[in-house]
Amino acid sequence: MKTVNKEDIMYSLKLMDVSEGDVLLVHSSLTSMGYVEGGADTVIDALLEAVGPEGTISMSTLTGWGSPFDADTSPSAVGDISEQFRKRAGAYRSLHPVHSVTAIGKYAEFLTRDHETCETGCGTGTPYEKLRMLKGKVLLLGVDMDRNTIMHTLEEEIDAIYLRTLDIPAPTYLKDQDVFTLKKFPPGHRDFLAITPYLRRGGAMVEGVIGQAVVKVVDIPKLFDIALTILKENPLFFICHNPNCNSCHWSRLLFDGKPIDMAQYEKNHCCDGTCEICVI
């Protein structure tokens, strides 16, 4: 197995044009790199050092909705690096009960402020939209476009018909409230990987490696320009054509205004309770 240290990570980031002052949204898999000396903390140190004191590192620290969200104790469901990151001294975590973002650096407070009062999880006023405003980059470290939370911001922007309203337990800071209503909530499968060749052609992405991990650095304003052009032409661009994908089949029926018989999805349901393809 490949061994990776902090200098290796910083060198690779530099090759991918990550530089001082950058604002990054990081999605990551620690094990994808091989063996990292010092583990998740080494990766976090390298990221912070790469962007320097004028830069900002942010990460999605997403949570499920089975129990009430607590910013101090609800663990990040999206990997060890994000979980260690949210526990760092000086880290700001936004208060959205599902789509929280944690950030450290120059714009950390600005990015994470008021997320809980936004109409939706990933749209206007959220950290994801602010990252676009700040001309940030998405760093996909050993994970791919299907883990890129900011793709939901694009879906919100075109008001995709398959986004849903969902009541979940209220976060712990809302003392007088039992239920929190999520609007334009995005469960289910999406073929976000389909955007990749368009980003390559449009010069919106730099690709490289860190240890054994494949890494993509995506320019957020360019991603929005390219993806919104495609989505305005085809609002179902991210909906797949797998006939066994309940989620995307449901989205197509909804888009076409056709009746939905929920019983039709029972026959190809798998046993994985968190399967994005089977969720309806």
Contact positions vs Zn ion (CB under 5 A): 189, 240, 245, 248, 270, 275, 277-278
* C-beta of 166 vs 275, nearer to Zn ion: 275
* C-beta of 133 vs 260, nearer to Zn ion: 260
- CA distance linking residue 275 with residue 149, whole number of Å: 17
- CA distance linking residue 202 with residue 183, whole number of Å: 32
Q: How far is CA 183 from the centre of its chain?
A: 17
Task: Give the three-class secondary structure for 248.
Answer: helix
Cβ 241 to Zn ion shortest distance, Å: 8
Phi and psi at residue 167, to the nearest 5°: -90, 130
Tokens 């990040």, located at residue:
76
Question: Which residues neighbour 93 within 8 Å (Cβ) at sequence distance 6 or greater?
Answer: 61, 71, 86, 100, 101, 102, 112
* C-beta of 81 vs 248, nearer to Zn ion: 248
* C-beta of 62 vs 248, nearer to Zn ion: 248
What number of helices (H) and strands (E) belong to the chain? Answer: 9, 11
* C-beta of 42 vs 148, nearer to Zn ion: 148
* C-beta of 4 vs 239, nearer to Zn ion: 239
Cβ 76 to Zn ion shortest distance, Å: 24
Cβ 272 to Zn ion shortest distance, Å: 5
To which H or E segment does residue 35 belong?
A: strand 35-36
Cβ 185 to Zn ion shortest distance, Å: 17
Cβ 97 to Zn ion shortest distance, Å: 25
For residue 181, the number of C-alpha atoms closer than 13 Å in the C-beta half-sphere is: 4
Cβ 230 to Zn ion shortest distance, Å: 17
